[in-house]
Each structure stands twice: as structure tokens, then as C-alpha cells.
Amino acid sequence: MAQGEPRDEDESRRKFMLAGAGVLGACVAGITAAPALSMLTHPLRTPTTSGSDAFIPAGKLAQFEGTVPIKVDLYADKVDAWNRVVQVKIGSAWVMQHEDKLVAMSTVCPHLGCAIDFDAEGGKFVCPCHDSYFSLDGAVETGPSPRGMDALEVQTQGELVAIRYQRFRQGTETKEPV
């Protein structure tokens, strides 16, 4: 071996040191990146809310004293992975007294999701898209809707009425929350 040439031992020690430094660098990078990654992806691991779990104020009880359905729009804060939108309309409901009980029904037609209207002259609900007719209690009278109008949970809080708004699968005979 000529003088000044690296010996095999020195060469393997150098390679070993380089590999060790690489592994150590990767570990340090992993340790520092983990909290940042966790923070960035936190919204994705947080349940999304759209106000559907909460009862949403719908108006004063006095508004709904008659048996004629009153349409109310429901507003809630919408939160998704990175956004929070304050007080957006999440849906509407028909509210009325029926057989001495306050009831609320979704305006979304169970057939294909059009907005259900109230025909004051005929005294029934109607979906204009494919002519489904519903009686005052929400039952299907005629038309392609596979089930009656979807009832929503309603409660009174003092003088106020609050509704738990939910959406349901369309085109099914059974009422399945989505």
C-alpha cells in the first residue's frame, strides 16, 4: 500500500460514520416533523359538524299556533376541516300544530330531493318536480315519493321553538339519516 492511501479500515469507519449520521438526521427530522404534521392534519381527524346535532332556533311558539304549515329556514355554523362559516342556511322545515302537537317536517322531498311546497287551496303538501302529494301529517297520497315527508325532532325552549335538522337518504322506503 502506498503511503497516504486510505486503509480499508479507515474507509469502512468513514462509511459507518456517514451511515450513522444519516440515520441520526432522519430520526431528528422525524421527531421535529411529527408534531407539525399532527397539527396540520388535526382538522381532518376532528369530526365535522354542520349544526345537525344541535337543536336550531326556528322562531317563537306563537308563530306556529295555527294548523296552517309555516315554512322556516334554519341556520347554523358550518365547520369543515379548515373552515368555519357562521350562520349559513342548512335547510328548511314545515312547522305546524297537528292534532294538538307541534310538528316539523323537512322540506326535502324523499323522492329526489326537490323542495316540497304547501298548496293552501288543496290543504296538502306537494312536490312540483314529479307531482308527489302529501297529506297534512306528511303521508304520501299520490306520486313517486317512496315514503312520507321526513319528520324532524322539534322541541320548545320556553317561548322558543327549536328543530334538530337532519337530511335523509332519498329514494328509499325507510328513513335513513345521512
Q: Which residues are at the interface with ligand FES (CB under 6 A)?
A: 109, 111-114, 127, 129-130, 132, 143-145
d(C-alpha 167, C-alpha 101), whole Å: 22
CB of 131 to ligand FES, least distance (A): 6
CB of 155 to ligand FES, least distance (A): 28
Question: Are 160 and 59 within 8 A, CB to CB?
Answer: yes
Report which of 54, 48, 89 is spatially closest to residue 72, judged by C-alpha positions. 89
What is 8-32 written as a DSSP string? HHHHHHHHHHHHHHHHHHHHHHHHH
Q: What phi and psi values does residue 90 have, to the nearest 5 degrees?
A: -105, -10
CB of 150 to ligand FES, least distance (A): 12
CB of 176 to ligand FES, least distance (A): 17
Report which of 53, 55, 87, 59 is spatially closest to residue 71, judged by C-alpha positions. 59
Residue where the block lists cell 297534512:
136
- Region for residue 167 given its phi and psi (left: phi exceeds 0; alpha: psi -120 to 50; beta: otherwise): beta
Between residues 38 and 135, which has the closer beta carbon with respect to ligand FES? 135
Between residues 79 and 115, which has the closer beta carbon with respect to ligand FES? 115
CB of 108 to ligand FES, least distance (A): 9
Between residues 116 and 163, which has the closer beta carbon with respect to ligand FES? 116
User: Within 13 Å and on the Cβ side, how many CA atoms surround 143?
Assistant: 24
Between residues 59 and 146, which has the closer beta carbon with respect to ligand FES? 146
Between residues 127 and 154, which has the closer beta carbon with respect to ligand FES? 127
